[in-house]
Structure 1
């Protein structure tokens, strides 16, 4: 089992920043309670407030896969689909 990191970025459509903020804030606590979640921190870009960034650490790729299939993530994706202009997820391994 190898720890992995994730950087997940979501950019709200103009005018939908606060809707997206509420949605991303709503998934923080349930995710932190998931098995295998080591870190799940939400940030908002200071210079570009439409950009929300998660820094995540997971025990394994399996834990991340289970997270992706969780009910609260499915509900988040459905609710926020119309508010997101761009989303990007990068899965990383630490090399040093």
Structure 2
């Protein structure tokens, strides 16, 4: 298995910042308990408070794929569909 990292960004539509924040915070506990989850930290952009950033580390692509299909992530996508202006997920590998 090869460890991978993820940077996942969600930008709330104006007026939905706090609702999105609460839902994102709710993902942390269940995700940290998933098999293969090494790191799952939620951040908020200091200069753009509508932008939330997850910094994640996973044991493998398979663990990440299972996470993407988990019940709490599926429910999250449905719950916030109208609150998110932009979402982006980047899978990266560490160089140094």
Give the TM-score category using the shorter length: over 0.9
After superposing on structure 2, the runs of 4+ consecutive aligned residues of structure 1 that deviate more than 3 Å are none
Cross-structure match for 1:72: 72
Distance 1:86 1:58 in 2: 23
Distance 1:82 1:18 in 2: 14
What is the 5 A alignment of 1:11-22?
11-22=11-22
1:40 aligns with 2:37: no
Distance 1:36 1:13 in 2: 32
Per-residue displacement from partner, 1:1-33 (whole Å, max 9, x unpaired)?
Answer: 100000000000000001100110010000000
Secondary structure class of the residue paired with 1:82: coil
Higher helix share: 1
| Two-structure CA RMSD over aligned residues (Å) | 0.5
Distance 1:38 1:32 in 2: 7
Cross-structure match for 2:10: 10
Q: Structure 2: which 5+ runs fail to align?
A: none
Q: Structure 1: which 5+ runs fail to align?
A: none
Cross-structure match for 1:30: 30
Secondary structure class of the residue paired with 1:72: helix
TM-score, scaled relative to structure 1: 0.98
